[in-house]
Amino acid sequence: MFLCNFVIRTLLFTLIVGDADLPLYNIHIKDEPIQLSSVEGNHLEVVSLNGQQFSCIIPDIVIQNDQSDLPVRNISEYIKSVFNTWNTSNCLTWFHGWWTYKVCIGQEVTQYHDEHGAITLSSSLGLFSKDYDWSIAEQSDPQVSGRYHSQFYDHGSICDVTGKPRSTELRYVCNFMAANPVITELAEIATCSYVLTIASVDLCVVPALMPKKEIEPSRIVCSPALSDASYLKYDNAKKEQLERQKRLKEELLYQAMLPLLPAKRRAAREKLFSSHRSYQKRVERENLRKAKRLRNKFLTFMSQVEDNFGKDPNEDLILQNFGTESLIHSFKSIIRFFSPGFEIEGSMAVNRLTAHNQTVEIAYILLGRMRNSFENAIAVGEIPKTLRMLRLYVHLLNKLENIKCTSL
Protein backbone atom coordinates (compact mmCIF):
# COMPACT_ATOMS: atom_id res chain seq x y z
CA MET A 1 0.00 0.00 0.00
CA PHE A 2 2.90 2.36 0.78
CA LEU A 3 4.41 1.79 -2.66
CA CYS A 4 1.08 2.46 -4.32
CA ASN A 5 0.66 5.71 -2.37
CA PHE A 6 4.16 6.79 -3.41
CA VAL A 7 3.52 6.16 -7.11
CA ILE A 8 0.16 7.94 -7.12
CA ARG A 9 1.47 10.96 -5.25
CA THR A 10 4.41 11.20 -7.64
CA LEU A 11 2.20 11.09 -10.73
CA LEU A 12 -0.29 13.62 -9.36
CA PHE A 13 2.19 16.06 -7.78
CA THR A 14 1.43 18.82 -10.24
CA LEU A 15 -2.29 18.48 -9.46
CA ILE A 16 -1.94 18.34 -5.69
CA VAL A 17 0.19 21.46 -5.15
CA GLY A 18 -1.07 24.79 -6.46
CA ASP A 19 0.54 28.21 -6.76
CA ALA A 20 -0.15 29.01 -3.08
CA ASP A 21 1.20 25.62 -2.00
CA LEU A 22 -2.26 24.65 -0.78
CA PRO A 23 -3.54 21.08 -1.23
CA LEU A 24 -6.19 21.00 -3.92
CA TYR A 25 -6.59 17.23 -3.62
CA ASN A 26 -6.16 14.48 -1.09
CA ILE A 27 -6.01 10.77 -1.92
CA HIS A 28 -8.14 7.96 -0.52
CA ILE A 29 -7.32 4.37 -1.54
CA LYS A 30 -10.20 1.92 -1.16
CA ASP A 31 -9.83 -1.78 -0.44
CA GLU A 32 -12.88 -2.69 -2.54
CA PRO A 33 -11.94 -3.34 -6.20
CA ILE A 34 -13.99 -2.08 -9.13
CA GLN A 35 -14.69 -3.35 -12.63
CA LEU A 36 -12.46 -1.38 -14.98
CA SER A 37 -14.96 -1.44 -17.85
CA SER A 38 -17.62 0.22 -15.67
CA VAL A 39 -15.53 3.28 -14.73
CA GLU A 40 -17.01 6.54 -16.01
CA GLY A 41 -16.10 10.20 -15.73
CA ASN A 42 -12.74 11.87 -15.26
CA HIS A 43 -10.33 9.21 -14.05
CA LEU A 44 -6.67 8.30 -14.16
CA GLU A 45 -5.23 4.79 -14.39
CA VAL A 46 -2.00 4.14 -12.47
CA VAL A 47 0.01 1.05 -11.58
CA SER A 48 1.74 0.40 -8.26
CA LEU A 49 5.31 -0.87 -8.07
CA ASN A 50 4.05 -4.40 -7.45
CA GLY A 51 1.99 -4.35 -10.66
CA GLN A 52 -1.49 -3.68 -9.21
CA GLN A 53 -3.58 -1.47 -11.48
CA PHE A 54 -5.65 1.32 -9.89
CA SER A 55 -8.36 3.56 -11.27
CA CYS A 56 -8.49 7.01 -9.65
CA ILE A 57 -11.56 9.23 -9.94
CA ILE A 58 -10.45 12.87 -10.16
CA PRO A 59 -13.15 15.40 -9.25
CA ASP A 60 -13.42 18.71 -11.05
CA ILE A 61 -12.37 21.74 -9.01
CA VAL A 62 -12.98 25.43 -9.46
CA ILE A 63 -9.94 27.53 -8.63
CA GLN A 64 -11.04 30.73 -6.97
CA ASN A 65 -9.72 33.98 -8.30
CA ASP A 66 -7.83 35.74 -5.52
CA GLN A 67 -8.75 39.08 -7.06
CA SER A 68 -12.23 38.61 -5.61
CA ASP A 69 -10.70 39.25 -2.18
CA LEU A 70 -9.93 42.86 -3.10
CA PRO A 71 -12.39 45.38 -1.66
CA VAL A 72 -15.16 46.45 -3.99
CA ARG A 73 -15.79 49.74 -2.18
CA ASN A 74 -13.68 51.93 0.11
CA ILE A 75 -12.71 49.64 2.97
CA SER A 76 -11.24 52.60 4.85
CA GLU A 77 -14.75 53.97 5.33
CA TYR A 78 -15.91 50.64 6.72
CA ILE A 79 -13.09 50.70 9.25
CA LYS A 80 -13.61 54.36 10.12
CA SER A 81 -17.28 53.69 10.87
CA VAL A 82 -16.24 50.87 13.24
CA PHE A 83 -13.73 53.11 15.03
CA ASN A 84 -16.47 55.73 15.49
CA THR A 85 -18.46 53.23 17.56
CA TRP A 86 -15.55 52.76 19.98
CA ASN A 87 -14.89 55.01 22.95
CA THR A 88 -11.37 56.00 21.93
CA SER A 89 -11.01 58.20 25.01
CA ASN A 90 -10.55 54.97 26.98
CA CYS A 91 -7.10 53.63 26.15
CA LEU A 92 -6.38 49.89 25.95
CA THR A 93 -3.86 48.42 28.39
CA TRP A 94 -2.09 45.08 28.28
CA PHE A 95 0.22 43.49 30.86
CA HIS A 96 3.06 41.57 29.24
CA GLY A 97 5.79 40.43 31.61
CA TRP A 98 7.70 43.34 33.11
CA TRP A 99 6.03 45.90 30.87
CA THR A 100 2.57 47.32 30.55
CA TYR A 101 1.47 48.56 27.12
CA LYS A 102 -1.03 51.36 26.68
CA VAL A 103 -2.69 52.07 23.33
CA CYS A 104 -4.68 55.26 22.84
CA ILE A 105 -6.14 54.65 19.38
CA GLY A 106 -5.38 57.49 16.98
CA GLN A 107 -3.08 59.16 19.51
CA GLU A 108 -0.11 57.35 21.06
CA VAL A 109 1.34 53.99 22.11
CA THR A 110 3.35 53.89 25.34
CA GLN A 111 5.30 51.34 27.36
CA TYR A 112 5.90 51.56 31.11
CA HIS A 113 6.55 49.56 34.27
CA ASP A 114 3.90 49.53 36.99
CA GLU A 115 5.44 49.34 40.47
CA HIS A 116 2.53 48.95 42.90
CA GLY A 117 0.52 51.61 41.11
CA ALA A 118 3.47 53.92 40.46
CA ILE A 119 4.45 54.31 36.79
CA THR A 120 8.20 54.15 36.14
CA LEU A 121 10.45 53.74 33.09
CA SER A 122 7.83 55.12 30.69
CA SER A 123 8.65 55.28 26.96
CA SER A 124 6.67 56.39 23.93
CA LEU A 125 6.48 53.75 21.22
CA GLY A 126 5.12 56.21 18.67
CA LEU A 127 2.61 58.92 17.87
CA PHE A 128 -0.20 58.34 15.40
CA SER A 129 1.00 58.94 11.85
CA LYS A 130 -1.43 57.37 9.35
CA ASP A 131 -3.81 54.53 8.44
CA TYR A 132 -3.21 52.00 5.70
CA ASP A 133 -4.91 53.32 2.55
CA TRP A 134 -7.26 50.62 1.21
CA SER A 135 -8.15 52.67 -1.87
CA ILE A 136 -4.74 51.84 -3.37
CA ALA A 137 -4.51 48.32 -1.97
CA GLU A 138 -2.61 45.73 -4.00
CA GLN A 139 -3.05 41.98 -3.83
CA SER A 140 0.59 41.63 -2.79
CA ASP A 141 0.17 43.91 0.24
CA PRO A 142 0.47 42.00 3.55
CA GLN A 143 -2.69 43.72 4.83
CA VAL A 144 -4.72 42.22 1.97
CA SER A 145 -3.34 38.68 2.26
CA GLY A 146 -3.19 38.80 6.07
CA ARG A 147 -6.73 40.19 6.44
CA TYR A 148 -5.84 43.03 8.84
CA HIS A 149 -5.88 46.84 8.94
CA SER A 150 -2.76 48.78 9.90
CA GLN A 151 -2.19 52.02 11.76
CA PHE A 152 1.33 53.44 11.92
CA TYR A 153 2.76 55.26 14.95
CA ASP A 154 6.14 57.02 14.54
CA HIS A 155 8.46 59.47 16.35
CA GLY A 156 8.47 57.71 19.69
CA SER A 157 11.18 57.89 22.34
CA ILE A 158 14.76 57.58 21.12
CA CYS A 159 15.97 53.97 21.18
CA ASP A 160 19.10 53.45 23.31
CA VAL A 161 20.43 50.84 20.86
CA THR A 162 19.74 52.34 17.42
CA GLY A 163 19.64 56.01 18.35
CA LYS A 164 16.44 56.33 16.27
CA PRO A 165 12.85 57.02 17.36
CA ARG A 166 10.76 54.02 18.35
CA SER A 167 7.86 53.04 16.05
CA THR A 168 4.81 50.77 16.26
CA GLU A 169 2.34 49.21 13.84
CA LEU A 170 -1.13 48.42 15.19
CA ARG A 171 -2.81 45.56 13.36
CA TYR A 172 -6.59 45.32 13.71
CA VAL A 173 -8.08 41.87 13.11
CA CYS A 174 -11.51 40.25 13.19
CA ASN A 175 -12.08 37.94 16.14
CA PHE A 176 -15.56 36.61 16.87
CA MET A 177 -14.58 35.86 20.49
CA ALA A 178 -13.54 39.44 21.33
CA ALA A 179 -16.69 41.30 22.34
CA ASN A 180 -14.65 44.46 23.05
CA PRO A 181 -11.39 45.68 21.49
CA VAL A 182 -8.47 43.93 23.18
CA ILE A 183 -4.70 43.67 22.66
CA THR A 184 -3.82 40.05 21.94
CA GLU A 185 -0.23 39.94 20.65
CA LEU A 186 3.08 41.81 20.75
CA ALA A 187 6.10 41.31 18.53
CA GLU A 188 9.34 43.28 18.31
CA ILE A 189 10.08 42.73 14.63
CA ALA A 190 13.26 44.80 14.84
CA THR A 191 15.09 46.63 17.59
CA CYS A 192 12.68 49.25 19.00
CA SER A 193 10.17 48.50 16.21
CA TYR A 194 6.96 46.87 17.46
CA VAL A 195 3.78 45.25 16.17
CA LEU A 196 0.71 45.12 18.41
CA THR A 197 -2.40 43.16 17.39
CA ILE A 198 -5.84 44.41 18.42
CA ALA A 199 -8.82 42.08 17.99
CA SER A 200 -12.53 42.85 17.99
CA VAL A 201 -15.73 41.25 16.74
CA ASP A 202 -16.80 44.67 15.46
CA LEU A 203 -14.19 44.40 12.71
CA CYS A 204 -15.84 41.26 11.35
CA VAL A 205 -18.33 43.44 9.44
CA VAL A 206 -15.48 44.69 7.24
CA PRO A 207 -15.31 42.41 4.16
CA ALA A 208 -11.56 42.74 3.74
CA LEU A 209 -10.93 41.66 7.36
CA MET A 210 -13.17 38.60 7.37
CA PRO A 211 -11.16 35.37 7.79
CA LYS A 212 -10.61 33.42 4.61
CA LYS A 213 -12.64 30.30 4.13
CA GLU A 214 -10.45 27.25 4.29
CA ILE A 215 -10.18 25.45 0.99
CA GLU A 216 -11.49 21.91 1.31
CA PRO A 217 -9.20 19.56 -0.59
CA SER A 218 -11.03 17.64 -3.29
CA ARG A 219 -10.94 13.89 -2.79
CA ILE A 220 -9.26 11.58 -5.28
CA VAL A 221 -10.60 8.06 -4.77
CA CYS A 222 -8.43 5.24 -6.07
CA SER A 223 -9.69 1.66 -6.28
CA PRO A 224 -7.98 -1.54 -7.43
CA ALA A 225 -9.12 -2.05 -11.03
CA LEU A 226 -9.94 -5.55 -12.30
CA SER A 227 -10.78 -6.90 -15.73
CA ASP A 228 -14.26 -8.31 -16.35
CA ALA A 229 -13.10 -11.90 -15.82
CA SER A 230 -11.10 -11.09 -12.68
CA TYR A 231 -13.93 -9.05 -11.21
CA LEU A 232 -16.39 -11.91 -11.78
CA LYS A 233 -14.08 -14.28 -9.89
CA TYR A 234 -13.72 -11.75 -7.08
CA ASP A 235 -17.49 -11.22 -6.86
CA ASN A 236 -18.21 -14.96 -6.71
CA ALA A 237 -15.52 -15.49 -4.07
CA LYS A 238 -16.96 -12.64 -2.00
CA LYS A 239 -20.47 -14.12 -2.12
CA GLU A 240 -19.14 -17.53 -1.06
CA GLN A 241 -17.24 -15.96 1.83
CA LEU A 242 -20.35 -14.11 3.04
CA GLU A 243 -22.38 -17.32 2.85
CA ARG A 244 -19.74 -19.20 4.86
CA GLN A 245 -19.67 -16.47 7.48
CA LYS A 246 -23.45 -16.56 7.76
CA ARG A 247 -23.53 -20.33 8.19
CA LEU A 248 -20.76 -20.21 10.75
CA LYS A 249 -22.60 -17.54 12.75
CA GLU A 250 -25.80 -19.58 12.80
CA GLU A 251 -23.89 -22.74 13.73
CA LEU A 252 -22.16 -20.96 16.61
CA LEU A 253 -25.51 -19.65 17.82
CA TYR A 254 -26.90 -23.17 17.82
CA GLN A 255 -23.88 -24.53 19.67
CA ALA A 256 -24.24 -21.78 22.28
CA MET A 257 -27.84 -22.82 22.94
CA LEU A 258 -27.01 -26.48 23.63
CA PRO A 259 -25.64 -26.05 27.18
CA LEU A 260 -28.89 -24.36 28.19
CA LEU A 261 -30.95 -27.50 27.47
CA PRO A 262 -31.49 -30.34 29.98
CA ALA A 263 -28.96 -33.15 29.62
CA LYS A 264 -31.32 -35.76 28.10
CA ARG A 265 -32.93 -33.35 25.66
CA ARG A 266 -29.50 -32.04 24.72
CA ALA A 267 -28.20 -35.53 24.01
CA ALA A 268 -31.28 -36.41 21.95
CA ARG A 269 -31.04 -33.22 19.95
CA GLU A 270 -27.33 -33.66 19.32
CA LYS A 271 -28.01 -37.17 18.06
CA LEU A 272 -30.85 -35.98 15.85
CA PHE A 273 -28.88 -33.17 14.25
CA SER A 274 -25.72 -35.21 13.83
CA SER A 275 -27.68 -37.71 11.69
CA HIS A 276 -28.22 -35.04 9.02
CA ARG A 277 -25.25 -34.01 7.00
CA SER A 278 -27.07 -31.16 5.30
CA TYR A 279 -27.13 -27.90 7.19
CA GLN A 280 -30.32 -26.84 5.38
CA LYS A 281 -32.11 -30.03 6.47
CA ARG A 282 -31.37 -29.33 10.11
CA VAL A 283 -32.81 -25.84 9.81
CA GLU A 284 -35.96 -27.09 8.05
CA ARG A 285 -36.64 -29.78 10.67
CA GLU A 286 -36.24 -27.28 13.47
CA ASN A 287 -38.67 -24.91 11.73
CA LEU A 288 -41.28 -27.66 11.36
CA ARG A 289 -41.05 -28.36 15.05
CA LYS A 290 -41.71 -24.70 15.80
CA ALA A 291 -44.59 -24.68 13.33
CA LYS A 292 -46.30 -27.52 15.20
CA ARG A 293 -46.26 -25.42 18.35
CA LEU A 294 -47.77 -22.53 16.44
CA ARG A 295 -50.57 -24.76 15.17
CA ASN A 296 -51.46 -26.02 18.65
CA LYS A 297 -51.54 -22.52 20.08
CA PHE A 298 -53.74 -21.25 17.27
CA LEU A 299 -56.32 -24.03 17.71
CA THR A 300 -56.89 -22.86 21.28
CA PHE A 301 -57.22 -19.30 20.12
CA MET A 302 -59.66 -20.21 17.32
CA SER A 303 -61.94 -22.04 19.75
CA GLN A 304 -62.16 -18.91 21.88
CA VAL A 305 -63.10 -16.82 18.85
CA GLU A 306 -65.78 -19.32 17.75
CA ASP A 307 -67.33 -19.21 21.23
CA ASN A 308 -67.95 -15.50 20.74
CA PHE A 309 -69.65 -15.88 17.35
CA GLY A 310 -71.35 -19.25 17.66
CA LYS A 311 -74.05 -18.39 20.22
CA ASP A 312 -75.27 -15.26 18.39
CA PRO A 313 -75.53 -13.08 21.51
CA ASN A 314 -76.43 -9.43 21.43
CA GLU A 315 -73.89 -6.80 20.41
CA ASP A 316 -73.11 -5.62 23.94
CA LEU A 317 -72.32 -9.15 25.06
CA ILE A 318 -70.04 -9.74 22.04
CA LEU A 319 -68.00 -6.62 22.74
CA GLN A 320 -67.90 -7.42 26.42
CA ASN A 321 -66.62 -10.97 25.84
CA PHE A 322 -64.31 -9.92 23.07
CA GLY A 323 -62.57 -7.42 25.30
CA THR A 324 -61.63 -9.96 27.95
CA GLU A 325 -57.98 -10.06 28.92
CA SER A 326 -57.71 -13.82 28.38
CA LEU A 327 -58.64 -13.59 24.67
CA ILE A 328 -56.35 -10.65 23.94
CA HIS A 329 -53.50 -12.24 25.89
CA SER A 330 -53.90 -15.49 23.96
CA PHE A 331 -53.91 -13.66 20.63
CA LYS A 332 -50.78 -11.63 21.46
CA SER A 333 -48.94 -14.73 22.63
CA ILE A 334 -49.47 -16.29 19.18
CA ILE A 335 -48.26 -13.21 17.33
CA ARG A 336 -45.15 -13.06 19.52
CA PHE A 337 -44.60 -16.81 19.52
CA PHE A 338 -41.34 -16.90 17.56
CA SER A 339 -38.45 -17.72 19.85
CA PRO A 340 -34.79 -16.57 19.38
CA GLY A 341 -33.26 -18.34 16.41
CA PHE A 342 -36.63 -18.89 14.64
CA GLU A 343 -37.55 -15.93 12.47
CA ILE A 344 -39.42 -15.74 9.17
CA GLU A 345 -36.64 -13.69 7.62
CA GLY A 346 -34.05 -16.25 8.67
CA SER A 347 -35.91 -19.26 7.31
CA MET A 348 -36.71 -17.49 4.05
CA ALA A 349 -33.01 -16.93 3.51
CA VAL A 350 -32.36 -20.68 3.24
CA ASN A 351 -31.43 -21.59 -0.31
CA ARG A 352 -33.90 -24.51 -0.66
CA LEU A 353 -37.31 -23.17 0.39
CA THR A 354 -39.86 -25.75 1.42
CA ALA A 355 -43.63 -25.55 1.31
CA HIS A 356 -43.53 -25.16 5.09
CA ASN A 357 -41.50 -21.97 4.89
CA GLN A 358 -43.96 -20.37 2.50
CA THR A 359 -46.99 -21.46 4.53
CA VAL A 360 -45.67 -20.14 7.80
CA GLU A 361 -44.90 -16.78 6.19
CA ILE A 362 -48.44 -16.42 4.82
CA ALA A 363 -49.93 -17.54 8.12
CA TYR A 364 -47.87 -14.98 9.98
CA ILE A 365 -49.05 -12.19 7.66
CA LEU A 366 -52.71 -13.21 8.12
CA LEU A 367 -52.29 -13.26 11.88
CA GLY A 368 -51.04 -9.71 11.72
CA ARG A 369 -54.01 -8.63 9.64
CA MET A 370 -56.45 -10.38 11.97
CA ARG A 371 -54.90 -8.68 14.96
CA ASN A 372 -55.24 -5.25 13.34
CA SER A 373 -58.87 -5.97 12.40
CA PHE A 374 -59.73 -7.12 15.92
CA GLU A 375 -58.10 -4.17 17.67
CA ASN A 376 -59.46 -1.55 15.24
CA ALA A 377 -63.01 -2.91 15.56
CA ILE A 378 -62.87 -2.93 19.35
CA ALA A 379 -61.44 0.60 19.40
CA VAL A 380 -64.45 2.02 17.47
CA GLY A 381 -67.05 -0.16 19.26
CA GLU A 382 -67.89 -2.45 16.31
CA ILE A 383 -68.18 -6.22 15.93
CA PRO A 384 -64.98 -7.65 14.38
CA LYS A 385 -65.55 -9.05 10.85
CA THR A 386 -62.94 -11.77 10.68
CA LEU A 387 -64.87 -14.94 9.80
CA ARG A 388 -63.52 -15.05 6.24
CA MET A 389 -59.94 -14.75 7.47
CA LEU A 390 -60.59 -17.50 10.01
CA ARG A 391 -61.71 -19.86 7.22
CA LEU A 392 -58.59 -19.04 5.20
CA TYR A 393 -56.49 -19.68 8.26
CA VAL A 394 -58.07 -23.10 8.86
CA HIS A 395 -57.20 -24.00 5.25
CA LEU A 396 -53.58 -22.98 5.84
CA LEU A 397 -53.41 -25.00 9.03
CA ASN A 398 -54.63 -28.05 7.13
CA LYS A 399 -51.80 -27.59 4.65
CA LEU A 400 -49.37 -27.22 7.53
CA GLU A 401 -50.63 -30.50 8.99
CA ASN A 402 -50.05 -32.30 5.66
CA ILE A 403 -46.43 -31.20 5.29
CA LYS A 404 -45.26 -31.63 8.89
CA CYS A 405 -42.48 -34.11 9.54
CA THR A 406 -43.70 -37.56 10.57
CA SER A 407 -41.00 -37.82 13.22
CA LEU A 408 -42.24 -34.77 15.12
**Mean pLDDT (whole number) for 314-331:** 47
Highest averaged pLDDT of the listed ranges 61-70, 163-172, 327-336: 163-172
Start-end of H helices in 50-93: 75-85
231 or 326, which is more confident? Answer: 231
Contacts of 379 (CB under 8 A, 6+ apart): none
Model confidence, pTM = 0.43
pLDDT digits (tens, 9 = 90+) for 173-223: 999 888 889 999 999 999 999 999 999 999 998 888 888 776 677 788 888
Sequential DSSP letters for 223-252? EEEE-HHHHHHHHHHHHHHHHHHHHHHHHH
Q: How many Å apart are CA 46 and CA 54, to the nearest integer? A: 5
User: Which of 6-20, 33-47, 244-258, 261-275 has the weakest average pLDDT?
Assistant: 6-20
Q: What is the mean pLDDT of the segment spanning 300-327?
A: 50
Q: Which range has highest mean pLDDT (17-31, 139-153, 306-320)?
A: 139-153
Query: What percentage of the chain has pLDDT greater than the value 70?
Result: 54
Say which DSSP state 60 is in.
Answer: -
Predicted pLDDT at 220 = 83
Q: What is the CA radius of gyration of the chain?
A: 41
* Phi and psi based region of residue 173 (left: phi greater than 0; alpha: psi -120 to 50; beta: remaining): beta
Helix axes 387-403, 355-380, angle to 10 degrees: 160
Of the listed ranges 131-140, 274-283, 317-326, the least confidently predicted one is 317-326
Q: Which residue has the higher pLDDT, 95 or 363?
A: 95
The pLDDT value recorded for residue 352 is: 35
CB 57 within 8 A of CB 28: no
Flag whether pLDDT at 142 surpasses 70. yes
Tell me if 193 sits within 8 A of 165, measured CB to CB.
no
- Return mean pLDDT, the chain: 72
Give all domains of the chain, ordered by start, each with its CATH number: 2-61+216-238 (no CATH), 70-209 (2.70.130.10), 276-403 (no CATH)
Which segments of 258-354 does DSSP mark as H helices, in order?
263-274, 279-310, 315-322, 325-335, 344-348
